[in-house]
Structure 1
Amino acid sequence: MPIATPLGTGIEYYRRKITEGKTRREAQRCLKRQITKQIWRTVHRDGTTTPVRLENPAGDLVH
């Protein structure tokens, strides 16, 4: 049984880029860009754009 199945719009987009003549690496880069855009739109649409304050191991705040 395969670990992951190539289903969904992501693999369709990837295959379309390959068909357009992009290399495997270029197609992956395009797909990553599209995923990032979707995440960005979702975050901003939800209104969850408040900055997150993190602490590093030393206990200092990181912005």
Structure 2
Amino acid sequence: MLQQLGCAAEEVLFVGDSVEADLGGPWSIGMQACLIKGHRGSRLEPLFRHLVWQYRQG
């Protein structure tokens, strides 16, 4: 996926909501990772859509 996007692992921030599932993988290949606290049943998709839109607008 990183190659398809033209990104190096060091340039990517992986955002997740679980310590067990979302930190080890990214760190193992050189990505940065952070956690955000969600509410049970909440979805991260609307947040990511907004962030991608902001990035594209530059």
Q: TM-score range by the shorter chain?
A: 0.3 to 0.5
The structure showing larger relative contact order (alpha-carbon pairs under 8 Å, at least 6 residues apart) is 2
The structure whose Rg is larger is 1
When normalised by structure 1's length, the TM-score is: 0.35
Structure with the bigger percentage of strand: 2
